[in-house]
Amino acid sequence: MSPFAAGIIGEFFGTTLLILLGDGVVANVLLTRTKGQNAGLIAITWGWAMAVFVGVFTSAKFSGAHLNPAVTIGLTTAGEFEAGLVPYYIVAQMLGAMLGATLVWLHYHPHWSLTEDKDLKLAVFCTGPAVRHPLMNLISETIGTFVLVFAALYLSSPSISGPDGKPGGLGSIDALPIGLVVLAIGLSLGGTTGYAINPARDLGPRIMHALLPIPGGKRDSDWGYSWIPVVGPILGAVIAAALYRALGGVYVPPPIS
């Protein structure tokens, strides 16, 4: 398999697993008569952290485990990923997110008709603000993603290589640390917007919410808010990459003579 094909496949299946497990824990907590109903925010944040762990661990060998357009853009802005691969990675991430959301829809199929609250059904697929304030919601997503990408840059560089042999990806050894970073973001910063911190994570499932027939009915997909979990993470990633470069990246000790 060529490095290019491996990268695309890794991003697709890694993001699929990320969304299957991430949106899956939200469904388990929010939908009616699941075993995890009303388990609360702590269950969701831990579930998402472990979803990141599984997604990164299983895809790192193939693609460097970005699983997030913001991470891909951040690594590229920092000069640690090949710019020509960016569109392909983002398409693979979006398609993986859409498939993951579809699998969640299928897995919890009997519970959709039992759940009367259409807002909860939407929340399984995508994020929404606790208090709707577009500017502050945008700032929240920017800050959360800044933390994610800034941490990812230091975890992934300079020793971890992407599928093209150049730096710019998370290795499997970084799967747990990056999962714990996501856990920290969720527990500390997730109360405002639900911490999408990933354009594909929010937009892909939101598209599937609009397209899929959901038993018991559904509300609109809140397209008026949908730009915030896309623009905010990209802004946060670019700021993180700029600071990373301004600080000189990672210190690499000189070789022993």
Could you report the per-residue pLDDT of 120-176, keeping only the tens digit for each?
A: 999 999 999 999 999 999 999 999 999 999 999 988 765 444 455 544 566 666 789
Which among 210, 178, 211, 212 has a CA at the least distance from the CA of 197?
178
Domains, the chain, ranges and CATH?
A: 3-246 (1.20.1080.10)
pLDDT digits (tens, 9 = 90+) for 180-212: 999 999 999 999 999 999 999 999 999 999 999
Whether the per-residue pLDDT at 84 is higher than 70: the answer is yes
Q: How far is CA 215 from CA 110, 111, 122, 205, 218, in A?
A: 8, 8, 13, 17, 8
Contact indicator for 193, 128 with CB cutoff of 8 Å: yes
Please choose, from the candidates 61, 48, 62, the residue with its C-alpha nearest in 3D space to the C-alpha of residue 17.
Answer: 48
Beta-ladder partners of 167: 161
Closest CA to 96 of 11, 25, 164: 11
97-104 average pLDDT score: 98
Tokens representing residue 63 in the block:
């693609």
pLDDT score, position 154: 85
User: Do 181 and 147 touch, CB atoms closer than 8 A?
Assistant: yes
Alpha helix ranges (H) inside 108-227: 109-112, 118-125, 134-156, 175-189, 199-211
SS3 assignment, position 6? helix
Instruction: Tell me, yes or no, if the pTM score tops 0.85.
Output: yes
Beta-carbon contacts of 74 under 8 Å, excluding residues fewer than 6 positions away, are: 149, 152, 153, 237, 238, 240, 241
d(CA 225, CA 239): 22
pLDDT of residue 9: 97
pLDDT digits (tens, 9 = 90+) for 19-40: 999 999 999 999 999 999 999 9
The pLDDT assigned to 173 comes to: 61
CA–CA separation, 15 and 97 (whole Å) = 6
Neighbour tally for 159: CB within 10 Å? 10
Residue 61 in tokens: 């060998």
> Token pair of 174, please?
């970084």
